[in-house]
Structure 1
């Protein structure tokens, strides 16, 4: 991939607004409403039916993104959700066939384009400025942070790109975290173990200092996708904005914040500037006492945390008439943001170990893009038997939060769940085709990963990882050939067939 240093003028998408304009040129990819909507549970409740998909409570479906033009109590702010909620739409936004997205991201990691910093006067995100020191400041009345359900701990910013830097090395990282509004100028931040920003926070806290952090909301979809890479693919000190730059072919533009010593994404719709305070913790549901946090990617509402770090807000800046971007935790949008980088990480690691054998990877919707991966593996000779299971082991190493791997042959469409389950029914025997790896660290949001569920799990967040080998033993391949139909040109009979 060529490393451009200038913006590609032919690239139609460079921020959220241009992404929305692009989707409006495509059929059935975005809808809007002017009917007043309440951000408290109603907005998410509507989109659950319209296009959330993913692991959301049924009925739901894969559908268009949705713009809410009339948000109750916020006349100057629109809200959009579902921009990345289908793989096909994500492909449109990144200019890539849906089945090749993992390869696109893998190549982008290998051809990084670092971000650049522009002058404040050139940054769209600073057209309007609100200082938290003003007595009138209240983020609760300024921005319509939605609640996903009526039992949420509070309003959440779910699509905030959190950007902070190592206080010792200056290296920066960007990622998305659960941010709950707690007061006029405070947010809580939940950081799952191993996140780079948490490592930065711990260093600052050990020195008794706050960690400056910016939260950019409403950005180019390429940035949302790139921010979801995790180690070991992007190790500590690797700024994932490098990947976003490679995806677009030009650097992401940053701007210096106005109230803290940090940078933010210059074309954001909204930026929240603040500091992670040292040695300060707040109960996540202190304002509601629901005991619940918000719906998460496995399809369940997570428990509210007893003691979370606090971001003290210093300022909010935004574009004129900003668009607040949000997502439903269990929606297909989370699947694509988390899952496609997972696919890229697995493809990269396995390809380096055994070139040409792993044909593709799908981080399946049912696992929220994290817990389940389908690997399409080609055995070229008898000596490849067993290497498919080695590929699965490498997948667990490439993405530690992965729980289950299903292995299929090259004649199985890994993106078609019916075809994958067909392979499991006809090419799998539980006693010889299952590999279990007990007691391995996984993801704390899977409610089955607890000692209460299984006495063999030592603590929350550990799991028995499983490989389901649904590939045909090489020496039996000729017994498992699918029925071969005649190849024809369907357009002779149906000219509009696609």
Structure 2
């Protein structure tokens, strides 16, 4: 795999103080106010918490004004004495890199390399599972998940309170293969949740298999996790095909297997070092309207930046128990923010890099799943042309990227002198190295993502159903035979630190 700077780490380095859960991750950044802040000022989880973090560090496609900033822990949640809430742990690429022992430019390569060192999870006993320090049974009198855990709403129009960082762990009822995925989870009652599954998700396939037999599917919902678990869980097919347990990737990232523990009330496992686990079952042949109790007509803000329509019929999860650590930390995110870009985008980049390295060895230097696409819909691919034939190889690289990640919608190709992480630089290349009638390649009628509101027949009657789209390659690379014409002006290379000692110049620091 080609590297931008071979001196930068491309195998995960163990951060100072081993990270194996959320608390150790927060401890790593706790003394850096650029990466972590806490507040004891009371906050309402209903829209107010997200409204605060919008200004602090949400970033991404959140309605302006917003910015990238530190993770934030709220220690006093109105109506909840025992639970803290943290948001934005992964809402900055540099912070994610720190937590995974990498750099911002190599974190995708570190994650890709974790496949070669994948480690299967292991099962530990209850005494070694902090998440089962406290147990709340749904059969107990007075049990009500709505008063036990502060599920936030992002906006006043949300269909319901949502758990936004709930990692589902389920098992194929036919062959015993397990899988983990993150989905939006709406709190609908004292022991009922509704779950939205985008098409093609593996746990939904497990659910359908169980439902065909009239059976419930036992699931655990795990929250407050080691960042490596969340990042590893966000890989998708074909990189992680049906039957591949993504917890292996987290094991590879940490050079230590993820620890599981047998759930208390269902035939499933929980992540032993989670902060909170909700145990229960996905019920067969039962559906619920997502905004049943609010009638807002809206769901919640998703990664494209829109508060889409509430789903008319979603599967129901029946809660059987909640287990937690003592004084647990509930982890959440602001739906369309920078955190989603990290969660979805870094695994997307790693998947595309692996595929391109296999198809076109050494030709692609970097892939950035741009935050404007929420880490899913837009990728910038940096190529290294050395001969005229490479004009065609660049476009082949874009086709490989589209084939590798089915939800990817647009690919921008740039040369080695363009920084794919710098949107100004990318737009400059698109403005000066691209002609619309020559350098746009459109592939119509291809599988996309249902949450993009432009991918529906109401937008374009030629589209057969929601989630089908046209995919576009923007070739913003200079033609090889004109490479000299497109050479950028070269300035004298000077170390600026003697003239500006108060400024930070990472390119001149070891």
Whole-Å separation in 2 of the counterparts to 1:159 and 1:302: 19
SS at match of 1:18: helix
Equivalent position of 1:139 in the other structure: 145
DSSP-derived class of the 1:341 partner = helix
Pair 1:112 & 2:114 matched: no
Structure-1 separation of matches of 2:354 and 2:432: 30
Between the aligned partners of 1:461 and 1:60, the Cα distance in structure 2 is 29
Return the offset for 1:32.
1.3
CA deviation vs aligned residue, 1:439-484 (integer Å, no higher than 9, x gap): 1010010011111111222211111100000001111101110001
SS state at 1:183 partner: coil
- Work out which of the residue numbers 499, 502, 510 in structure 2 matches 1:493: 499
Task: Tell me whether 1:328 sits opposite 2:334 in the alignment.
Answer: yes
Match 2:402 to one of 387, 390, 396: 396
| TM-score (normalised: structure 2) | 0.95
1: CA distance, partners of 2:484 / 2:442: 28
Residue of structure 2 in register with 1:317 after alignment = 323
Of residues 476, 487, 492 in structure 2, which corresponds to 1:470?
A: 476
How many residue pairs match? The answer is: 496
Secondary structure of the equivalent of 2:389? Answer: helix
Aligned to 2:273: 267
| Structure 1 position 492, deviation (Å) | 3.1
Assess if the C-alpha contact under 8 Å between 1:3 and 1:246 holds in 2. Answer: no
Shift of the 189–474 alpha-carbon distance from structure 1 to 2, 3 Å rule, reads same
Structure 1 351/314 Cα, relative in aligned 2: closer, same or farther at 3 Å? same
Following TM superposition, by how much is the alpha carbon of 1:10 offset from its aligned partner in structure 2, in angstroms?
A: 5.9
2:4 counterpart residue number: none
Matches within 5 A, 1:21-420: 21-420=27-426
Contact 1:2 1:249 in 2 (8 A): no
Rounded to whole Å, the distance in 2 between the matches of 1:3 and 1:406 is 27
- Cα-to-partner distance string for 1:198-248 (whole Å, 9 max, x where unaligned): 111011111111100000100101111111101000001110000001111
Could you tell me whether the CA contact under 8 Å between 2:10 and 2:107 is conserved in 1?
Answer: no
Q: Could you list the runs of 4 or more consecutive aligned residues of structure 1 that deviate by over 6 angstroms after TM superposition?
A: 1-4
Where 1:57 maps in the other structure, the secondary structure is coil
SS class of match (1:32) = strand
Cα separation, 2, equivalents of 1:43 and 1:247:
31
Cα offset, 1:402, TM superposition: 0.3
Deviations 1:126-161 (A, max 9, x none): 000000011210000000000001010111000011
- Residue 453 of structure 1 aligns with which residue? 459
SS of the aligned residue for 1:224 comes to helix
- Judging changes above 3 Å, is the alpha-carbon distance between structure 1 residues 493 and 352 closer, same or farther for their aligned structure 2 residues? same
Q: Is contact 2:88-2:333 (8 Å) kept?
A: yes
Alpha-carbon distance in 2 for matches of 1:325, 1:94: 18
SS of 1:278's partner is: strand
Match of 1:20 in 2: 26
SS at match of 1:374: strand
Shift of 1:421: 0.3
1:425 to 2:431 alignment = yes
Cα displacement (A) at 1:2: 13
CA distance in 1, matches of 2:492, 2:10: 42
CA offsets, 1:402-444, max 9 Å, x none?
A: 0000000000000000000000110000000000000101001
Report deviation, 1:380. Answer: 1.6
Gaps of 5+ in 1: none
SS in 1 for 2:292: coil
**Partner in structure 1 of residue 5 of structure 2:** none
Q: Does the 8 Å CA contact 2:117/2:255 hold for their aligned counterparts?
A: no
Q: 1:86 to 1:288 in 2, by over 3 A?
A: same
SS in 1 for 2:413: strand
- The answer to whether the Cα contact below 8 Å between 1:213 and 1:276 also exists between their aligned partners in 2 is yes
Partner of 1:442: 448
**TM-score, with structure 1 as normaliser:** 0.98
Tell me, yes or no, if the aligned pair for 2:118 and 2:252 is still in contact at 8 Å: yes
Cα pair distance change 1:62/1:432, threshold 3 Å: same
Distance 1:339 1:487 in 2: 33
* Contact 2:10–2:110 (8 Å) recurs in 1: no
**Deviation sequence 1:326-347 (CA, Å, 0-9, x none):** 0011010001000000001110
